[in-house]
Structures are given as structure tokens and as C-alpha cells.
């Protein structure tokens, strides 16, 4: 410390001037509270004067300084204090109050330290006793509330926390209730700090010009923003509403804020008043700040300081046994400070021991120890350990160790193994160590002076000597350390490397760092530090490529060795747009990947892709698989790492050389295959990936099959089951048709009218063969269209109309939150989604909900018409809107009849008729597809347009912008959805479906169910004990079966979200499926049980099958149809049951294709 600092503290603070005439003192002394101008004037007086006055003030004027020891929470109400225009006055005022109550404050500080020790060591009972004692002696305080919340949260969990909060908020004034709510969240073990800060930000909207109360609240509750607040006057002013101990806490934060914002080592403009404040009481924190702010000698070292200095002494000498035992003693004595923990953990790790904490293993102290061990050993979970330390730092914001942990996080999440602390780390330290001195002051002469002071207090301390030798070497421009102590050579080497670097002797520094890095005995921490040093030297020499190479060679062993600062800074040096010379090194894409994997940078596949693409271009390749041929140009380990990690699916998806997800899958498989052959040690990883890719491809393939074509009529099965009468009729028809003499085919048309008035009627001669053909045709058409087992109508009902169509048409609207469902009264529910986002008042909400309800109704009406009128078979002229038209004119039938006569057998005639029906189906499908893509599209888009206009007029153009954007997005999705739906109306190519795995089939059908089934949203858990191969021909039936089970759950659970567990067991030829879903508590259970009983009686009889063509039922008729006729099973069982909160369907089937 320079002379000026020492000299300045000798100045006697301005004190009492008894002869001064101060007009406001008389009324105060007479017990009258001064008015605002007088109070402001009073605060501007010297500390000594204020203090004297406060000592003279009678009880009746105690309100002058607020309630220092409030007896109740109510007393903590926010008072309207007069804003004071300058910080110095507020600090003077506070100093006077502290001096007036010095003894009480020091007692409180002592009890607080005891509380922190008990709490950290896990003795929550003792902590509770101490907290109660503090409240009894010093009154109610925000500190006590926070401590109580913390204790409750750590000992009883969130419930305890919330109970305590409830007690506080029920008694406390609003201001305290608000602060307590924030504090309750901050001490929550489960709440991540970033999340917490986001909550604070969203409520208080931080801005330094914001309302004084909000700013003060921010200062209190937001550790992240505390040091960025510059207007501290209001903060201190508002503190006058709080207890004395709260004022001490806040004044400490204010002092830390002032140091943090200080740009030089010089004192602040308020240095005089600041000096007075830190000198007002003798608590450890103020003593430390006094040293930092004023250079005031610390005097006789405290026992803790002595222990820590001894620990660093032994640590520097490499005597880790003694270092760890000194640190352990310090930690046990003062678990509220971080320094001993760091020394203890580092020493233990040096000894190769597990740093077992001397406290209860469930204590916070033990958690700190274990997380520090992960950080210092640079284990894989380093980020998670740092996050945990930050979380504890937030929970313990009111503790001495809290800010220290946050500073530790800030430092270690950026630097790999910091030689110096960051500024906050130095400010929040508890002990003024050599490292703190080096970190806190920029001026080398001040640092040397501080180290000399330390040397006097701790003679022959190796750490002080080493730090001093470093300073002297740099100051004398010498690369050699002048130190007489026996310090381990590795430590000396690292220090020398650092000195060389500071002296810009980069070659010498590089060689020393390199020596540390390549030494197999170096710890990961040392390697990390050396790698960072090497990087700095190489970049200083502008050898970027060399730096990248070095880092990649070092980091593949243990990526955590490379600190954030090193990697992030290096990547910034990469030339924009690439450069063949630089980009051809595989190191760059690997490092870009590592930076994201280590969470040093946000995940961004496109950023990795940039460097990846540059590398491929430099290698004259388009795809990674093209590199296989030149693999010998790369280091084998780096190339494998590149292929396995950098060329990931999401990075390849950024490359325009791949036109589809399937192409990427093929590329990834070829990469995995190459790796299996060339990097066999990791074969398992690559084999697993191939299996996973294949599974995803299979699911996609199956979904595609299921989505593309849904129309199928099993004509083979119809033919097999045709009644003999039809065949007889066809045979006779053919026999007549074979008569060469056409006139022989003729006969009299015998009608009822002819028989009743035979004499008066005209006789018509008709072609008997044609008459018979028409009968045969009608019979076959009926079978084709209406067979409950195999017909088209049952197929349309099962695969299209049953839930799927409505779900698919509604999906684009639902995904944008534009439609709601009906409630039990039949009215559309309120649209909370958009009301919350765009409505500013009740009128807006009413108008918007009316418009959206109208829109929902319109969409549902259109969907109803599509399902119930369009996607139907035209049975009569009345059902003219039905799109499946199977009316044949007389001429058409005659043409067909003549054509069928060329068939060689009645069977051939039947097949020819079916061909004609297929042809007609195909024409109908074309019409359906066109209608969906045109008429339906127009109707839905018109509905969108109308609704947009209505909403625009309700909310106004600007306000309705977000919802109109949603309509636009919905429009694009709708067009795609209609295109996809129209694809359903194609003839099923069942024969082309390949065999598949049951798991893929289940995944694909559950995905579809999640997408299309409603109104309840499905949450499906899938459990499969044994995967089996399913023949392609059985795929569709099983798909439909799973879909029906899941659709039923979504339709009938009567809950907003239905949790479904679908378990499938495959053993031999038996496959058992159990589908369980939860039910709403409002469901009529008796009715459901009765229904379940009826369903269990159901078999594949005609009555059940008739329901397979009807919508709105349970779908169980359809299930029987699938099992019995589509799968051709004769041995199966369907059993359903319901209890108070669960519905269960069990299907057990014996499949022929699994029989040996």
C-alpha cells in the first residue's frame, strides 16, 4: 500500500463541534421529530455530531432512526423516508447509528457467525436455537426471515419453506411479504439461479432509473444485479425501515458494490465517509473491507487467518499432508468461509485422497466439498458441480460464503485453473491472502507493499515469499525466481512460465508450459493451467493454427482440461468464411464441437456446420463419408472423434448435400460402419447407433405406409366367403352368355305387374343373361361396399372416419391454439391461450372468445360434414354429397356384362366385376382427393379469413397481429395437412409393406395416436418385453388395433390429458396387449362397468360387426373385425375392465406366424 493510503487514514474524521449552532438540534433534543428539510440537513452533518445528538435524543424521538430492534413483523413496514440526494450523507448517518449501537451490532455479528457455522455443518437444531436467540435479542429482521426460510427448506423441503412463508406473509406488511416471497424462492433447493433471476427480472423489471422501492427490492433479492446498481442512495434510505442488523447487511453490500465499481486502486470520492463506516464496528467483514478500502493494517492475525496462512505455506512447499490438516482445522473452526475448503480439497487431491468432508455427509458443507473436488479434479461433471455451487451460493446469499461461492462459479466456469482471482472473488474473500492482494490491486508497487506487510505478520511463509518473488521478478524484468525456499520444481516451473509470459518472453514461456503439459505426473489442474498459458503465448505470437492443434491434442484426453476462456478465445480467432490453410486442420471442427459440448457456448449445429463445411471443402469433399479414402491423412483418434461426434445428425442436417432425413441416416450408418471397422474399441457405441437409426427409419417407413394409403377391400376374402347362390347365378349367367345364338338368351321379363294383369300388359323380351348379371353385380357390389368383415364402408369407418379424420383436420388449428373444445353444456370453452396473450381488458376477452368460439364451431361443422356426408358411400340420390359414387348406368352395366362374358369361369366373372368396382373406387378416390384439396381447402380458408377479419375488428390491427400470424402459420400447416389427408385416399398397397419389428410398429402407431386422437391429449408409456418380427401383411391390422385402443382412451377418459400405459408381451405364438388409461373422477363408473360387461360379451358376430361401420361407438366391433377377419385369428380374447380410476383393455391373441 502506498504512502498516500496510509497517510489518509491518519486524518481525524470531522467530529463534534460543540460550538456549532445547528438550528434543528434543539427540537430534536426536545423530543420533536424534525421535518424533512431538517432531517436532510442533519444527515449532512459530521458523523461525530450526529452520533452525539443521537446519544442525547430522548426516547420520545426514537423514531428519528426508525425501529432498530423491531418486536413484531408489522413494525417492519415500509416508511416514507425523505430521499437524500447524496450517498455520503446516507453513509454518515448510517455510521453514526452503527457507532451508537456498536456493542449490540458486534454481538449480533457473533451470533450470526455461530448460526452460519451450525447451519453449514448440518446441525439444524442448534441453528434454530441460535436464530430464536437472535430474534429475541435483536428483534425481527429480514435476515431472520430469510434464515428461517432457509432452515425450513433445507430441513423440511419445499413444504417447510412454504409453511414458513405462509406464516410470515400472514403477519408481515406488504413490503416484507413481497421480499419474503422472493427470498423463499431464492433459498429453494430446487430452483436454478438463472431461473430465479428470470423470475425477479420479470417481476421487478430491473432498470437503474426504476422506482426507488423496486430498485431497493432488486438490490436485496437479486445477487446477480446487486453490483450493477449505481444509485445506492435510495437503497440506503429505504433501509431505514429495517432493523439494525439488516442495515449492517445492506451497508456491507453497498461497500462491496462501491469497490466493485471502482475503476482504479485509488479511493472513491466518498472515501472519507466510507472509511468512517468500515471503521465503525469491528466485525470480520468490515475488517476485511477496511483493509481493501483503506489499507488499514489488520493487526494481529485472527486464528482463522493464521490457520489459512499455514495451510497455504505447506501447500506451496508441497507438504500436502500438513496443508490438508491445517485447512481441515480451519474449515471445522470456520465453515462459513470458502478459503479453507479450497485448500483442503486441493491438498487431498494432491495426495490422491478422496476429500472426505469432516462434517455430516448431508450437510451443505459436505456438498460444497464434494462439488469442489469435481471442479478441481476437472471431472466430466464439472459443469454440473459448478451449477451446484452456484445454487448453494444463491441459497446462502446472506452468508459470508454465499458471494464467495458465486465468485468461485464465475471464475471457474470461465477460467480453467485461475492463477489470480476475479475482482469479485477478491472482494468477497474472508482472508487477505497473497492471492487476494495480487488479484485486487493493479499497481505492482501496492501489491509488493501489501506482500511485505503480510511477510511481517507471517514471517517465512512460503506462499507470501513465492508471490513476492514473482512480483519482484516481473518488476526487475528477470525470468528467474529468486527464492531461497525448497519449493517443488513443478510449482517453480509454472511460476516461471507465468513470469516469462508477463515479460512477453513467449518462447521461453511456451517451452516451460509445454514441459508441464507433457509431464505425465502433472495433475489435470496443472495441465489445464499449462494449456491455457500455452494458448495465450501462441496467440500472442499469432500462431493460431499451432494453438488449435495443441488444444485439440490436449483436449481429446479430457476435454474439461481446456478452460472456457481458452477455447472461446481461440475459436474467435477462426477466420470468417474459412481459409483453406487454416480450415484443412480437423482440429477446428472438433474444437467448435467441444466448446458446445462443454457448454462454453450455446448449442448451435449451424455454427459447428460452418467449420465442418470449411474443413470438407478444404479436403475437396462434400460428405464426411468421402473422407474415408483419405483417412490416413488424419490422426486416427481425431478422425474417429470427428466422425463420431462432429458429424452428428443435426450437423449433417445443415448440409445441403443431404436432401432428406433418410439420406442423412444412410450417411450416419456408413460412418458407424467405418468406425466399427477402424475404431473397434468403441464398436458398441457405433453398433447401438446403427440399431437406433434403423429403428427410427423403420418407424418413419411404417408411418409413411400407414399415412399414405388407407383404402382397402379384401376381395380375396370376399370371394372365398361368397354365398353359393351368387356363384350359381354367375355360373348360369355365363352359361347363357356362352350361347352363340343371341336370341336364345332372350326371355320374357316376368314382373309383378305382368302377372297381375297378364292380358292387358305388354310383354317385354329381355336378355336373361344380362338380368342375371345385374343381380350378380348388385350382390358383389353389396359385398364390396358393405361387407362388415371386408367391405369398403367398414374400412372407411375403421381407418378414416373413426377419430382420425377429425383429429387430422383439427390438428393445424389446435397446434396454434385457435380452436377449443366444447364443455359439458355444449358451449365452446374459453380460449385461454390467446386471451392471455393478446387481450388487454375484459371487453377484448369477451369479443375474442366469441369470435374464436364461432370459428371453432365453423371448423367443427365443416369437419362433421366431411366425415358424415362426404366420406360416405352414395347409397341413394338423397345422399348426393357422398363422394364414393357406385351408381352404374344401364349402359355401363351392359358394357361390363359383355366384357365379363369373355371370362373363362364364373370366378373370372366375379373378379372382373371387382376390377370394375376397384376402378370406380379409384375414380371416387381421385374425386375425394380433389375435393379435399380444393373445396374443403377453400371452405376452411374462407373460415380462417372471416375469423381473422372479425378478430381484427374486435382487437384492432396492431393488437391482433400475433393471432393473425398464428392464422397464417395455421394456413401453411393446413395446406400440408390437407395434402397428407388426401393421400389417405389411395388404394392400400399392403403387399408392399415389408416385415417390421413390433417395437417400431408400436412406436409409429402411438406417434400417430398422439397426433390425431382427441379430445384428451395422450401421454403414452410404452412397455415391450420382447421384440418380434411382424409380417408386412399383418402390419395394417395391428396398427389399426393399437390405434383403436388409444383412440378410445382419448375419447372416453373425460380428462384433459390421459396417461396411457401400453404393455405388450410376446411369448411364443401368444401376444398379449394391456392398455391401461386413467379416468376422470367425474365419470359414471357404474355405467362404465356395465358397458365393459357388454363389451366382454361381444364376439365377431354379425351384430358386433355391424358396429364396425358406425362412428361414435367404442370401436370394439372394429377390433373383432380386425382380429377375426383381417388377421384371420380363431384364437383370441378381448377383455375390458374398469375400476375407480383406471380403464383396462386386454387383448390376447395367438398368431399363426409365430407358431414354429
The binding site for other proteins (CB under 8 A) comprises 576-577, 606, 610, 653, 656-662, 700-701, 704, 945, 961-962, 964-965, 968-969, 971-972, 975-976, 979
Contact yes or no for 368/389 (Cβ under 8 A): yes
Per DSSP, the three-state class of 709 is coil
- Cis amide prior to 36 (ω within 30 degrees): no
CB of 940 to other proteins, least distance (A): 12
By C-beta, is 183 or 809 nearer to other proteins?
A: 809
CB of 654 to other proteins, least distance (A): 9
CB of 663 to other proteins, least distance (A): 9
- Judging by beta carbons within 10 Å of its beta carbon (0-12, 13-18, 19+), is residue 904 exposed, middle or buried? exposed
Contact yes or no for 1011/807 (Cβ under 8 A): yes
By C-beta, is 656 or 752 nearer to other proteins?
A: 656
Instruction: Give the cell for residue 257.
Output: 458494490
By C-beta, is 622 or 729 nearer to other proteins?
A: 622
By C-beta, is 74 or 704 nearer to other proteins?
A: 704
CB of 649 to other proteins, least distance (A): 10
CB of 941 to other proteins, least distance (A): 8
User: Distance between terminal CA atoms of the chain?
Assistant: 91
By C-beta, is 152 or 947 nearer to other proteins?
A: 947
Per DSSP, the three-state class of 600 is coil
| Residue whose C-alpha is closest to residue 194's, from 218, 223, 220 | 223
By C-beta, is 336 or 613 nearer to other proteins?
A: 613
By C-beta, is 78 or 862 nearer to other proteins?
A: 862
By C-beta, is 964 or 1120 nearer to other proteins?
A: 964
Q: Nearest 5 degrees, angle CA 376-CA 379-CA 382?
A: 75
Give the integer Cα–Cα distance in Å for 841 and 1072: 55
CB of 708 to other proteins, least distance (A): 9
Instruction: Give the cell for residue 249.
Output: 447487511
By C-beta, is 153 or 1003 nearer to other proteins?
A: 1003
| Residue whose C-alpha is closest to residue 739's, from 786, 781, 772 | 772
The single-letter DSSP state of residue 949 is H
Q: Nearest 5 degrees, angle CA 646-CA 371-CA 342?
A: 120
| Residue whose C-alpha is closest to residue 381's, from 117, 622, 560 | 560
CB of 656 to other proteins, least distance (A): 4
CB of 577 to other proteins, least distance (A): 5
Checking phi first, is residue 31 left (phi over 0); if not, alpha (psi -120 to 50) or beta?
left
Contact yes or no for 686/717 (Cβ under 8 A): no
How distant, in Å, are the alpha carbons of 396, 661, 843, 1011, 1022 from that of 1039? 55, 24, 48, 14, 14
CB neighbourhood size of 580 (10 A):
11
Residue whose cell numbers read 396398427: 1039
By C-beta, is 33 or 700 nearer to other proteins?
A: 700
Q: H or E segment at 1118? A: helix 1116-1121
Give the integer Cα–Cα distance in Å for 293 and 308: 22
CB of 930 to other proteins, least distance (A): 14
Per DSSP, the three-state class of 545 is helix
By C-beta, is 650 or 749 nearer to other proteins?
A: 650
Residue 1060 bridge partners (DSSP): 1020, 1077
By C-beta, is 484 or 577 nearer to other proteins?
A: 577
By C-beta, is 414 or 941 nearer to other proteins?
A: 941
Residue 184 bridge partners (DSSP): none
| Residue whose C-alpha is closest to residue 754's, from 765, 746, 742 | 765
By C-beta, is 163 or 198 nearer to other proteins?
A: 198
CB of 700 to other proteins, least distance (A): 6
By C-beta, is 268 or 969 nearer to other proteins?
A: 969
By C-beta, is 181 or 835 nearer to other proteins?
A: 835
CB of 837 to other proteins, least distance (A): 10
CB of 668 to other proteins, least distance (A): 14
| Residue whose C-alpha is closest to residue 1043's, from 804, 810, 808, 868 | 804
Contact yes or no for 227/92 (Cβ under 8 A): no
CA gyration radius, the chain: 42
Residue whose cell numbers read 446487486: 226
Checking phi first, is residue 1009 left (phi over 0); if not, alpha (psi -120 to 50) or beta?
alpha
By C-beta, is 581 or 1101 nearer to other proteins?
A: 581
Could you give phi then psi for residue 836, rounded to 5 degrees? -65, -35
Task: Locate all alpha helices (DSSP H) within 646-682, ordered by sequence.
Answer: 649-652, 661-678
By C-beta, is 181 or 815 nearer to other proteins?
A: 815
Give the integer Cα–Cα distance in Å for 295 and 421: 19
CB of 661 to other proteins, least distance (A): 6
Give the integer Cα–Cα distance in Å for 494 and 515: 9
On the CB side of 1016, how many CA atoms lie within 13 Å of its CA?
A: 22
Give the total residue count for the chain: 1156
Contact yes or no for 1143/1053 (Cβ under 8 A): yes
SS3 content of the chain, % helix, strand, coil (to 5): 65, 5, 30
Amino acid at each position: 500500500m502506498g504512502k498516500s493510503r496510509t497517510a489518509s487514514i491518519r486524518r481525524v474524521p470531522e467530529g463534534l463541534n460543540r460550538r456549532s449552532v445547528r438550528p434543528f438540534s434543539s427540537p430534536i433534543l426536545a423530543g420533536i421529530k424534525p421535518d424533512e428539510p431538517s432531517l436532510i440537513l442533519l444527515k449532512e452533518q459530521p458523523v461525530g455530531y450526529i452520533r452525539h445528538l443521537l446519544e442525547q435524543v430522548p426516547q420520545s424521538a426514537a423514531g428519528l432512526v426508525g425501529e432498530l430492534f423491531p418486536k413484531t413483523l408489522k413494525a417492519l413496514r415500509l416508511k416514507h423516508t425523505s430521499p437524500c440526494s447524496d450517498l455520503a450523507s446516507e453513509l454518515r448517518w448510517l455510521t453514526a447509528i452503527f457507532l451508537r449501537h456498536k456493542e449490540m451490532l458486534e454481538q449480533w455479528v457473533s451470533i450470526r457467525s455461530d448460526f452460519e457455522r451450525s447451519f453449514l455443518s448440518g446441525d439444524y437444531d442448534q441453528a434454530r436455537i441460535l436464530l430464536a436467540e437472535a430474534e429475541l435479542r435483536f428483534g425481527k429482521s429480514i435476515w431472520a426471515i430469510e434464515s428461517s426460510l432457509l432452515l425450513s427448506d433445507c430441513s423440511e423441503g419445499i413444504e417447510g419453506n412454504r409453511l414458513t412463508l405462509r406464516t410470515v406473509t400472514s403477519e408481515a406488511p406488504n413490503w416484507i411479504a413481497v421480499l419474503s416471497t422472493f427470498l423463499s424462492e431464492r433459498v429453494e433447493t430446487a430452483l436454478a439461479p438463472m431461473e430465479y433471476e428470470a423470475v425477479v427480472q420479470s417481476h421487478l423489471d430491473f432498470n437503474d432509473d426504476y422506482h426507488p422501492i423496486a430498485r431497493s427490492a432488486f438490490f436485496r433479492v437479486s445477487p446477480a444485479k446487486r453490483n450493477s446498481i449505481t444509485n445506492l442512495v435510495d437503497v440506503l434510505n429505504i433501509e431505514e425501515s429495517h432493523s439494525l442488523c439488516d442495515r449492517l447487511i445492506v451497508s456491507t453490500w453497498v461497500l462491496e458494490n462501491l469497490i466493485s465499481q471502482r475503476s482504479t486502486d485509488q479511493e472513491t470520492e466518498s472515501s472519507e465517509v466510507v472509511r468512517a463506516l468500515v471503521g465503525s464496528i469491528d466485525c470480520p467483514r468490515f475488517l476485511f473491507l477496511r483493509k481493501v478500502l483503506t489499507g488499514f493494517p489488520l493487526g494481529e492475525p485472527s486464528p482463522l487467518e493464521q490457520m489459512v496462512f499455514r495451510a497455504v505455506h505447506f501447500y506451496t512447499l508441497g507438504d500436502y499432508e500438513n496443508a490438508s490438516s491445517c485447512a481441515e482445522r480451519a474449515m471445522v473452526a470456520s465453515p462459513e468461509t470458502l478459503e479453507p475448503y479450497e485448500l483442503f480439497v486441493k491438498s487431498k487431491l494432491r495426495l490422491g485422497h478422496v476429500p472426505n468432508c469432516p462434517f455430516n455427509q448431508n450437510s451443505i458443507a459436505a456438498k460444497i466439498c464434494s462439488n469442489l473436488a469435481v471442479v478441481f479434479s476437472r471431472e466430466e461433471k464439472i459443469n454440473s458441480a459448478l451449477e451446484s455451487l452456484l445454487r448453494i451460493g444463491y441459497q446462502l446469499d446472506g452468508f459470508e460464503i454465499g458471494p464467495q461461492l458465486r465468485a468461485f462459479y464465475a471464475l471457474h466456469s470461465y477460467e480453467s485453473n485461475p492463477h489470480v482471482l476475479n475482482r469479485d472473488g477478491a472482494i468477497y474473500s474472508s482472508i487477505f491472502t497473497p492471492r487476494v492482494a495480487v488479484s485486487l490491486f493493479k499497481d505492482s508497487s501496492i501489491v509488493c507493499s501489501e506482500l511485505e506487510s503480510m511477510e511481517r505478520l507471517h514471517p517465512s511463509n512460503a506462499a507470501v515469499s513465492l508471490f513476492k518473488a514473482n512480483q519482484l521478478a516481473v518488476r526487475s524484468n528477470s525470468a528467474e525466481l529468486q527464492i531461497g525456499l525448497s519449493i517443488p520444481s513443478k510449482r517453480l516451473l509454472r511460476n516461471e512460465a507465468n513470469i516469462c509470459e508477463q515479460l512477453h518472453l513467449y518462447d521461453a514461456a511456451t517451452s516451460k508450459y509445454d514441459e508441464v503439459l507433457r509431464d505425465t505426473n502433472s495433475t489435470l489442474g496443472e495441465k489445464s493451467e499449462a494449456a491455457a498459458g500455452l494458448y495465450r503465448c501462441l496467440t500472442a505470437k499469432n500462431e493460431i493454427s499451432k494453438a488449435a492443434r495443441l488444444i485439440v491434442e490436449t483436449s481429446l484426453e479430457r476435454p474439461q482440461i481446456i478452460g472456457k476462456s481458452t477455447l472461446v478465445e481461440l475459436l474467435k480467432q477462426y477466420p470468417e468464411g474459412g481459409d483453406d490453410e487454416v480450415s484443412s486442420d480437423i482440429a477446428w471442427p472438433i474444437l467448435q464441437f467441444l466448446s458446445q459440448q462443454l457448454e462454453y457456448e450455446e448449442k448451435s449445429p449451424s455454427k459447428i456446420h460452418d467449420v465442418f463445411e470449411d474443413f470438407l471443402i478444404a479436403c475437396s469433399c462434400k460428405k464426411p463419408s468421402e473422407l474415408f479414402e483419405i483417412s490416413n491423412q488424419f490422426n486416427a483418434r481425431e478422425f474417429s472423434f470427428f466422425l463420431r461426434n462432429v458429424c452428428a445428425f443435426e450437423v449433417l442436417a445443415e448440409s445441403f448435400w443431404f436432401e432428406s432425413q433418410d439420406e442423412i441416416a444412410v450417411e450416419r450408418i456408413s460412418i458407424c460402419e467405418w468406425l466399427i471397422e477402424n475404431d473397434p474399441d468403441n464398436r458398441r457405441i457405433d453398433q447401438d447407433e446403427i440399431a437406433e437409426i434403423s429403428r427410427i427409419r423403420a418407424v418413419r417407413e411404417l408411418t409413411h405406409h400407414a399415412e399414405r394409403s388407407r383404402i382397402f377391400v379384401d376381395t380375396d376374402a370376399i370371394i372365398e366367403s361368397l354365398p353359393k347362390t351368387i356363384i350359381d347365378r354367375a355360373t348360369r349367367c355365363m352359361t347363357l352368355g356362352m350361347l352363340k345364338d343371341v336370341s336364345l338368351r332372350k326371355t320374357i321379363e316376368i314382373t309383378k305387374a305382368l302377372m297381375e294383369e297378364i292380358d292387358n300388359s305388354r310383354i317385354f323380351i329381355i336378355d336373361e343373361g344380362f338380368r342375371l348379371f345385374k343381380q350378380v353385380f348388385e350382390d358383389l357390389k353389396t359385398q364390396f361396399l358393405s361387407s362388415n368383415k371386408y367391405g369398403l364402408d367398414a374400412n372407411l369407418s375403421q381407418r378414416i372416419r373413426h377419430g382420425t379424420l377429425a383429429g387430422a383436420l383439427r390438428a393445424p388449428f389446435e397446434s396454434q391454439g385457435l380452436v377449443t373444445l366444447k364443455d359439458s353444456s355444449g358451449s365452446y370453452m374459453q380460449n385461454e391461450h390467446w386471451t392471455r396473450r393478446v387481450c388487454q381488458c375484459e371487453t377484448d376477452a369477451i369479443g375474442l372468445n366469441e369470435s374464436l368460439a364461432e370459428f371453432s364451431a365453423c371448423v367443427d361443422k365443416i369437419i362433421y360434414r366431411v366425415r358424415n356426408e362426404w366420406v360416405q358411400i352414395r347409397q341413394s340420390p338423397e345422399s348426393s354429397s357422398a363422394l364414393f359414387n357406385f351408381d352404374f348406368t344401364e349402359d355401363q352395366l351392359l358394357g361390363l356384362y359383355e366384357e365379363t362374358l369373355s371370362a373363362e369361369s364364373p370366378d373370372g366373372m366375379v373378379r372382373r366385376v371387382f376390377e370394375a368396382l376397384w376402378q370406380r373406387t379409384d375414380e371416387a378416390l381421385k374425386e375425394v382427393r380433389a375435393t379435399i384439396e380444393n373445396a374443403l381447402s377453400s371452405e376452411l380458408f374462407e373460415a380462417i379469413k372471416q375469423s381473422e377479419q372479425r378478430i381484427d375488428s374486435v382487437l384492432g390491427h396492431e393488437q391482433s397481429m400475433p393471432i393473425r400470424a398464428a392464422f397464417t402459420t395455421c394456413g401453411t400447416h393446413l395446406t400440408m395437412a390437407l395434402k397428407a389427408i388426401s393421400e389417405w385416399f389411395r388404394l392400400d398397397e399392403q403387399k408392399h409393406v415389408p416385415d417390421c419389428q413390433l417395437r417400431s410398429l408400436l412406436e409409429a402407431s402411438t406417434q400417430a395416436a398422439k397426433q390425431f386422437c382427441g379430445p384428451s391429449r395422450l401421454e403414452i408409456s410404452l412397455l415391450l418385453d420382447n421384440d418380434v418380427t411382424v409380417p408386412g401383411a399383418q402390419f395394417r391390422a395391428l396398427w389399426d388395433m393399437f390405434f383403436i385402443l388409444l383412440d378410445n382412451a382419448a375419447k372416453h377418459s373425460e380428462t384433459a390429458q390421459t396417461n396411457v400405459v401400453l404393455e405388450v408381451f410376446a411369448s411364443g405364438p401368444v401376444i398379449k396387449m394391456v392398455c391401461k388409461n386413467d379416468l376422470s373422477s367425474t365419470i359414471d363408473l357404474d355405467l362404465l362397468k356395465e358397458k365393459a360387461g357388454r363389451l366382454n360379451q361381444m364376439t365377431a358376430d354379425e351384430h358386433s360387426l355391424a358396429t364396425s361401420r358406425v362412428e361414435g361407438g367404442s370401436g370394439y366391433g372394429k377390433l373383432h373385425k380386425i382380429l377375426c377377419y383381417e388377421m384371420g385369428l380363431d384364437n383370441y380374447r378381448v377383455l375390458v375392465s374398469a375400476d375407480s380410476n383406471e380403464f383396462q383393455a386386454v387383448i390376447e391373441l395367438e398368431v399363426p406366424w409365430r407358431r414354429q
